[in-house]
Amino acid sequence: MVDFISEEFSRICKNAIERFSSEFECPKEDVCLTFNLREETLFFRLLKDFKVVREVTFNEILNQKIDLRGYGLMVKPFITKCLFRFCQEYDIKQNDVSVMVLIVQEKICLVLYNKVTQVKQIQIEELF
């Protein structure tokens, strides 16, 4: 089950980054997503050249108007709990934690941040 979730998560994130890079007419390596907490609520940001472009919804990441498969109901709580866990493990304030999702050598890479300081690279399985 974890393998399926990891593969599906990677596929969704990779497709989203590739789609947004086409929108910005730039290499996919210049685009990334972040998962963040604001007052205990999960939100997503789209970055180009490591600068915030805008906040995006989970449905925008999925590229769907309606989440018919219910991924948001499953994935968002897992990511939120994971961010809370990272806050405790690495002594990060909730509003300062983020996980950056980017493409490196054609693979999805996740990096944990405390504000703008890189804490460590994480595996997708650590989110679930």
Total domain count, the chain: 1
Question: What's the rounded mean pLDDT across residues 93-118?
Answer: 94
| Bridge partner residues of 97 (DSSP) | 114
Return the higher-pLDDT residue of 71 and 121: 121
- Say yes or no to pLDDT of 68 above 80: no
Domain that holds residue 123: 2-127
Tell me the average pLDDT across 16-40: 94
The mean predicted confidence, pLDDT, of the chain is 88
Residue type, 50: F
**8-state DSSP, 46:** E
What is the C-alpha separation between 37 and 17, in angstroms, rounded? Answer: 20
The amino acid that residue 1 corresponds to is M
Give the CATH number for residue 54.
3.30.470
Reported confidence tier of residue 67, pLDDT bands at 50, 70, 90: low
Indicate if the pLDDT at residue 34 is higher than 90. yes
